[in-house]
Structure 1
Amino acid sequence: MRGFKGKIELDTRDSKPDWEPFLPKKAPKGAPNVLFILYDDTGQAAWSPYGGRIQMPTLDKLAADGLLYTQWHTTALCAPTRSTLQTGRNHHLNGFGSITETASGYPGYNGRFPKQVTTVAEVLQNNGYATLWVGKNHNVPEQDVAPGGYRGEWPLNQGWDRFYGFLGGETNQWFPDLVKDNDFIDQPYMPDDGYHLSKDLADQAIEMLRNKDASNPSKPFYMWFNPGANHAPHQVPQEEIDKYKGKFDDGYDAYRTWVTARMKEKGVIPENTVNTAINPIHGDLANKLDQVRPWDSLNDNEKKLFNRMAEVFAAYSTYTDAQVGRVIDYLKETGQYENTLIIYAADNGTSGEGSPDGSVNENKLFNGWPDTLEENMKYIDKLGGQDTYEHFPTGWASAFSAPYKMFKRYAEYQGGTADPLIISWPKGIKARGELRHQYHHSVDIVPTILEVIGLEMPEVNHGVKQYPLSGVSMAYTFDAKPDDPTEKHVQYYEIFGTRGIWKDGWHAAAIHAPINGTSDFDQDKWELYNLEEDWSQSKDLAAQHPEKLEELKKLWMEEAKRNNVLPLDDRVAVEILGTPRPSDEAPRDTYIYYPDTEPVPEGVAVNVRGRSYKIVANVEVTDNSEGVIFAHGSRFGGHSLFIKNKKLYYVYNFLGIAPEQVFESDITLKPGKYTLGMEFNMTGKGEHGKILGNTNLYINDKVVASGNMQTQPGKFTLSGDGLCVGYDSGDAVSALYKSPAKFTGGQIQGVAVSVKGEPYENLESEARRAMLSQ
């Protein structure tokens, strides 16, 4: 910024102003808009432009108008990939070696951007762009997703002008956890009135663009549109599911064969590409939860259930693509389409987190609880709706990641890392409907955007020297031929202990199953592939080229040390998700909550997992008192204390498995002031780690219901559904009421939750004193 060149005298009448030093920078002349659409959990073999059976009309049109990349890669996991797409640095340099929910206290894994990285949003914001983010985030530390918490990692403090979406890794598509700019908000309307998150996000995206155009039509925008699709829960309107009825009845093994042939016909993969085995990892190294059950080993009900799950997934993807199409239509209607760089991609391979049997509640996996066919078949006609939190089985993850090995979380194989990417820019790219086979990675997107616009990543920002960009620009591919050499030379991979490295066409892969708890990383077998000749990694060349393998193993370790990859971590989900992490408030024995605050996320709320606990509420009751006193979680896992029909209830919903555990008072509540509560006394553990114990329900000091109860060993949810007092946010914990079930006809003074194991009566008096003193 140049200095002041005006004239300053005693009197302003004799002075000359100069505005330029004080005005924000403008974008380079003719700079394009950038619209980046990023799906979750989708391999190349899913979508129609690549030969898949899932119809993506909007994406088909963009592919016909631009370029389809066949060898673009990601980290194999969502939050790590998203960090690279924000900064252009490798995910461990960003502190995102894993997802925020599994962050640990090491430089490469702490879940916070270090001061040595600047987001592309901040660079664009400082250079005349409107920066607009709609949809999923998953780069805010779990403990910061709190109404009163630290907001330094929230979007508006990372270079974004506007944000509308959800901060976690997933959310209920019917009842999402929404943030607008810097505040938690309620969804604008309910599913019964036609609400779905994908539709809402498109509405908000168009509104943001329209508002920007109304006041600053010449200002270019950078919009990141991140729908919840295709991440679990797979949820979509029934009429969309019906369009795919019977489309996957041949099963996932047959689909792999069919789609591989289609991909060859389209030129997406070479003719010599081998369709690899559905279970490439064998023996002790295999994670049983990631195995695929051969289609011909399934019974008729399993085939019916699994195919319906695929129909839901396909409908979810197509429906969301139609919502993206509405945003594209707006750009065309307003004359902005031609000079908009549109990037349409997915952040990792298709997800296998539904286990070999699929799930009507994905959170069972994160609690170590198996699904059963009998339980899941009860919901076959409700799949995709409000009653399920669905994820299809590993077989479909394998199918939609064909012809490659494995899927999401497997960073050593292309099934986890090779993802769809289509780029369209009518004004800047002459080619139409062409393929590009150059090898690239998600770290290369930021350098590409900067080159296209004509900007550079700063070497120093906020007084801190920045890490160099890890990626290289892909802009050269816009005018290249499909098979021209790539300008990228090295890329390492690591997720949950799975490891790989690519160098000039050669790829070394350490065979390790993520979240397997096996460790012994130094004993892992390494495989070697020539990806120039063998895209699907079907021929291990380690024995033929031991010197090349050793070269790549050495290079992986060099890259690991340079990028903060160590130490490696492959702990099981229940263990790592339950690991305490530092937050603004230290853990305590007793927590006091007050009515009508914003939901308190599970990451910072009282932790009742795997222990005895007590809940006490001071409540004034009238003849008309009704509603929720305390609630945490949802119908897919949670607990709630509430009044209905003048009776006190406590419900613990164990992973959404019917029937709910209901404790109903044997007396009615008359008008007056009460201490209402419950206590759970843990007695031991049962199958699959569930917590066993007995529960008492109290009105004052009298037990009004009691019985045995089981509680979850892991989290209630990965999607929000925070702790509430005086109402139940989002999806109701219990079917005995409908959200928000706001408490009316009385007054809640406060609620105390204790995990320190003292007698119930002690907590009752302590809670009363604590609440009265505040």
Structure 2
Amino acid sequence: MLPDRHSRSMLPIPDRPAPGLTTYDAKDPDTHYPPIEPLRPPDGAPNVLIVLIDDAGFGSSSAFGGPCQTPNAERLAANGLSFNRFHTTALCAPTRQALLTGRNHHSVGMGSITETATSAPGNSSLRPNTKAPLAMTLKLNGYSTAQFGKCHEVPVWQSSPMGPFDAWPSGGGGFETFYGFIGGENNQWDPALYDGTTPVEPPATPEEGYHLTEDLADHACTWIRTQKALMPDKPFFVYFAPGATHAPHHVPPEWADKYAGAFADGWDVQRERTFAKQKELGIIPADAELTPRHAEIPAWDDMPAALKPVLEREMEVYAGFLEHTDHHVGRVIDTITDLGILDNTIIYYIVGDNGASAEGTVNGAFNEMANFNGMAALETPEFMAAKKAELGSPSSYNHYAVGWAWAMDTPFQWTKQVASHWGGTRNGTIVHWPNGITERGGLRSQFTHCIDIAPTILEAAGLPEPTMVNGVQQTPMEGTSMLYTFADATAPERHDLQYFEMFGNRGLYYKGWSAVTKHRTPWVMLGGTLPAFDDDVWELYDGRIDYSQAHDLAADDPDMLATLQRLWLIEATKYNVLPIDDRGVERATPEIAGRPTLIQGTRQLLFPGMGRLSENSVVSIKNKSFSVTAEIVVRETGAQGVIIAQGGRFGGWSLYAKNGRAKFVYNVLGIQEFAVEADRSIPAGLSQVRMEFAYDGGGLGKGGEVTIYYGGVAAGSGRVGATQAMIFSADETTDVGYESGTAVTPDYTPAGSRFTGRINWVQIDLGDDDHDHLIDPEERLRIIMARQ
């Protein structure tokens, strides 16, 4: 093997022309230049595939003893290594940014999620340019790079189609190709997609069999085949991060039906079954203990009998969703196998970016938006029973109950968001690399963390950490390469100190011991008083003999507890965790939190063709009077189609033309529809159509009077009985001249929604009766947190 002649510590690698004779005439026999050699990493550098499942706990996948069948994860585990002490940050965006950079999440500004960013360095959602992502390092060393799926690392004020794109995967993230979505969650049947930084529509409809996970796998497989067909000597780095299994839990019914009756005994019994299976598989120590259920989590036996069939179906749908996801991950692995490159491909299969999600309320939800808008009372047991058959379908936006999340985190305490306990941070992880791992089906129990992946891949590829990237001096990675564990199950662990923190829930791991304190409960977003940080009760666990954190030793060994508490403070200071921030109202309000907002003022002018604008990109018309004015040119044959629409099937509004007449529809949660139609057609030629909404006031989500005008002359009026106070959708958008995603009204389909005339401009004006201040800021926080 030839020595690597490149100086790879400075990226991009500086061009260094070789000195030598320069002739006058190219025909001179002494004329000689070496052939141009495309940049490649060192010989033998492996391909890399990182698979990151969303919101799946340690006890969910069958590869780690769970009830959700994941045969492709099992296949990799049987021929690779399973890590049973691999850790995340307890939340999605922080885990992803930490994984992609090899640094702790506060070090890269992602102390929580982008929607709760503050101006503090550890919580700004801004990755410092001194901490280049792994994909950038690999690309500048000659790798092909691609990401497929979820990106929740873009600051909210940079998430519009105009960027800036520094934090986008294919902008400054180092990925040459990106196909997926920006944000915390997406409709699996009708997603808002980007190809690079360009909004695109799904290639098919749900009725035609479309599902996002399958689409992502299609793109990943095609990209891998193309890359190997055109650059067979160049390794790739593929990051496959589907939105599954984050809510909404969307899956074709046949996948959910496989599990009919499997969960009839409830979550308490399911934990016992999973625990027994984990011991049978040897995935947890034989002396591990099953931690008890906390009082905040209801017992299955205490749930209403009328609701239990719905609760069962919630879990059946989730289990089908995870198995469906594993199936499509398997398609990507099969593509690599078929190309004959599996042996030299490192595959990380990480089952969850945090613990299972307890953000679905104690009863679960048919439509998350109802709860987000303070209308959860609509989802009575009777309503849920009536909607049971629709769970997982395109007409639902569903999530399972807290009890199921707890069961999916067996054998640990707590769930996603709880960074103090392993239920929030310990995720089953599989590593497969035949050329680098000789043992098949091995178990590794060294402490590892998501920040360890980047240095592992660099070491495996024979690449140094860069000291300079794009002219900026880099700080060292904070993770520890896991490569030392691949050949030796008994090797002493090298990552023996790690802090954890999320919304005040915090902990510290040190040489087998862990000191932890839970500060807040994930599903309790409103009411109650949080204790002062100094009043939080700390627990102490000896992980050398207590794998699941079942025995609190705080009273038995106060000196060790004090030592770890002091270490936590030192690590928190080192990595920008301080100040600890458990604020709700303040973090939900951009002006107080100190993060920018994209839209300001009471007027917004929009133009035709603008689309896929998130709610952060459009002035809010909620809980106030407003008007929408459009200057349009109508053909002699009359007007048809959308002028402007916001939201979709699960809530929103649309101003459009139907059979020549202007019409306004307000859709409340997909449950109620209020329509106002003009009494005559829009005149041909240049026209100005205006819709005015006079809000009733007196609180949130009230109704109001609607008047439609043509050229300043009233052309129709009517009433909207209620509105949505907080949010229309987690993923639907605003479009001018058409509607993407799902349709606000069945009067048209997205495919047939384009306006038939010409739109010159559309303007939204807010009234002076601003009731927005009446929204409880804690409600804002609850919505933000539930969407991550």
The equivalent of 1:442 in structure 2 is: 450
Deviations 1:694-747 (A, max 9, x none): 13131234262233543333232232x221111111111223332244234333
Q: State which of 103, 113, 130 in structure 2 corresponds to 1:99.
A: 113
Question: Alpha-carbon deviations, 1:191-239, whole Å to 9, x = none?
Answer: 2111111111111011111111121111111101111111111111122
- Aligned-residue offset at 1:428: 1.2
Of 281, 295, 300 in structure 2, the residue corresponding to residue 266 of structure 1 is 281
Change (3 A) 1:506 1:357: same
Structure 1 residue 624, shift from structure 2 partner = 3.8
Name the CA shift for 1:202/1:248 in 2 (closer, same or farther; >3 Å): same
SS of 1:716 mapped into structure 2:
coil
Question: Which residue of structure 2 lines up, in the alignment, with residue 350 of structure 1?
Answer: 356
1:659 aligned partner:
672
- 8 Å CA contact 1:496, 1:514 repeated in 2: no
Counterpart among 257, 260, 276 of residue 272 in structure 2:
257
1:388 to 393, 396, 407: 396
- How many residues end up aligned between the 2 structures? 742
Q: Deviations over 1:468-519 (max 9, x none)?
A: 21111111111112x5432111111111221111111111112211564744
In structure 1, the partner of 2:382 is 374
Against the structure 1 CA distance between its residues 88 and 745, is the aligned structure 2 distance closer, same or farther, given a 3 Å change threshold? closer
Q: 1:754 aligns with which of 749, 765, 771?
A: 765
Gaps of 5+ in 2: 1-5, 7-15, 771-788
Asked if structure 2 preserves the Cα contact closer than 8 Å seen for 1:264 and 1:271, the reply is: yes
1:232 to 247, 262, 280: 247
The amino acid that maps onto 1:695 is: E
What amino acid sits opposite 1:417 in the alignment?
A: T
Equivalent residue for 1:247? Answer: 262
1:683 & 1:502 partners in 2: Cα distance? 55
Pick from 729, 742, 757: which aligns with 1:731? 742
The answer to whether the 8 A contact 2:117-2:595 is kept is no
**Matches of 1:10 and 1:695, distance apart in 2:** 84
Once residues 5 and 620 of structure 1 are traced to their aligned partners in structure 2, the CA distance between those partners, rounded to angstroms, is 67
Shift of residue 12, structure 1, vs aligned partner:
3.7
2:48 is the alignment partner of 1:37? no
Q: Look up the match of 2:644.
A: 630
Partner of 1:284: none
Identity percentage of aligned residues:
40
The DSSP-based 3-state class of the residue aligned with 1:652 is strand
Report the CA distance between 1:669 and its aligned residue: 4.4
Q: For the residues of structure 1 that align with 2:586 and 2:391, how far apart are their CA atoms?
A: 26
1:76 paired with 2:82, answer no
Q: Distance in 1 between matches of 2:97 and 2:266?
A: 35
Aligned equivalents of 1:637, 1:498: Cα separation in 2? 34
Q: Give the Cα–Cα distance (whole angstroms) in 2 for the partners of residues 372 and 572 of structure 1.
A: 28
User: What SS does the aligned partner of 1:352 have?
Assistant: coil
Asked if 1:404 is matched to 2:404, the reply is no
**Distance apart, 1:77 and its partner CA:** 0.5
Match of 1:25 among 36, 39, 45: 39
In structure 2, how many angstroms separate the alpha carbons of the residues matched to 1:19 and 1:617? 63
| Greater Cα shift, 264-273 or 555-564 | 264-273
Amino acid at match of 1:600: L
Amino acid across the alignment from 2:204: Y
Q: Say if 2:430 is the partner of 1:422.
A: yes
Q: Specify the code of the residue in structure 1 equivalent to 2:381.
A: L
2:164 corresponds in structure 1 to 150
Tell me the secondary structure at the aligned position of residue 447 of structure 1. helix
The aligned runs of 1:443-592 (5 Å cut-off) are 443-481=451-489, 484-513=491-520, 516=525, 518-519=529-530, 520-572=532-584, 576=588, 587-592=600-605
1:754, CA displacement in angstroms? 1.4
Distance 1:702 1:212, change over 3 A: same
Shift of 1:121: 0.8
- Structure 1: which amino acid aligns with 2:264? D
1:162 pairs with 2:173? no
Partner SS state of residue 310, structure 1: helix
Q: Structure 2 length as normaliser, TM-score?
A: 0.90
The question of whether the paired residues in 1 share the 8 Å contact of 2:602 and 2:766 is answered with: yes
- Report the counterpart of residue 369 of structure 2 in structure 1: 363
Would the aligned equivalents of 1:70 and 1:420 in 2 still touch at CA under 8 Å?
yes
- What is the CA distance between 1:396 and its match in structure 2? 0.6
Does structure 2 retain, via aligned residues, the 8 Å contact 1:578–1:714? no
Q: Partners in 2 of 1:741 and 1:685 — Cα distance?
A: 38
The corresponding residue for 1:296 is: 301
The separation in 2 between residues aligned to 1:17 and 1:381, in whole angstroms, is: 74
Tell me the alpha carbon deviations over residues 652-700 of structure 1, each in whole angstroms, 9 at most, x when there is no partner: 22333x12233334555454654333333444465xxx43241313123
In 1, are the aligned partners of 2:648 and 2:742 still within 8 Å (CA)?
yes
Q: Structure 1 stretch 203-212 or stretch 367-376: which is displaced more?
A: 367-376
Q: CA deviation at 1:748?
A: 2.3
Q: Within the alignment, does 1:603 sit opposite 2:616 as a pair?
A: yes
In structure 1, distance between residues paired with 2:588 and 2:603: 24
Q: What is the 5 A alignment of 1:35-74? A: 35-74=49-88
What CA RMSD, in Å, does the superposition of the two structures yield over aligned residues?
2.3
Match of 1:316 in 2: 321
Unaligned runs of 5+ in 1: 281-290, 760-774
Contact 2:148 2:216 in 1 (8 A): yes
CA distance in 1 between counterparts of 2:260 and 2:48 reads 36
Which residue is 1:769 aligned to?
none
Cα separation, partners in 2 of 1:739 and 1:253, compared to 1, 3 Å: same
Question: 3-state SS of the aligned residue for 2:68?
Answer: coil
SS of structure 2 residue aligned to 1:560? helix
More divergent stretch after superposition (511-520 vs 742-751): 511-520
Are the aligned partners of 1:695 and 1:708 in contact in 2 as well (CA < 8 Å)?
yes
State the partner residue of 1:195.
210
1:617 matched to 2:630? The reply is yes
Q: What secondary structure is seen at the aligned counterpart in 2 of 1:315?
A: helix
Q: Is the 8 A contact 1:24 1:127 kept in 2?
A: no
1:365 Cα shift?
4.4
State whether residues 357 and 372 of structure 1, in contact with CA within 8 Å, keep that contact through their aligned partners in structure 2. no
Give the stretch that moved more between structures: 137-146 or 667-676.
Answer: 667-676
Counterpart CA distance in 2 for 1:49 and 1:618 is: 59
Q: SS at the partner of 1:264?
A: helix
> Structure 1 residue 694 and structure 2 residue 704: aligned?
yes
Distance across 2 between alignment mates of 1:72 and 1:262: 19
Q: CA 1:575–1:385 in 2, change beyond 3 Å: closer, same or farther?
A: farther
**Paired residue type of 2:714:** K
TM value normalised by structure 1: 0.91
Quote how far apart the aligned CAs of 1:644 are. Answer: 2.3
Q: Is the 8 A contact 1:732 1:740 kept in 2?
A: no
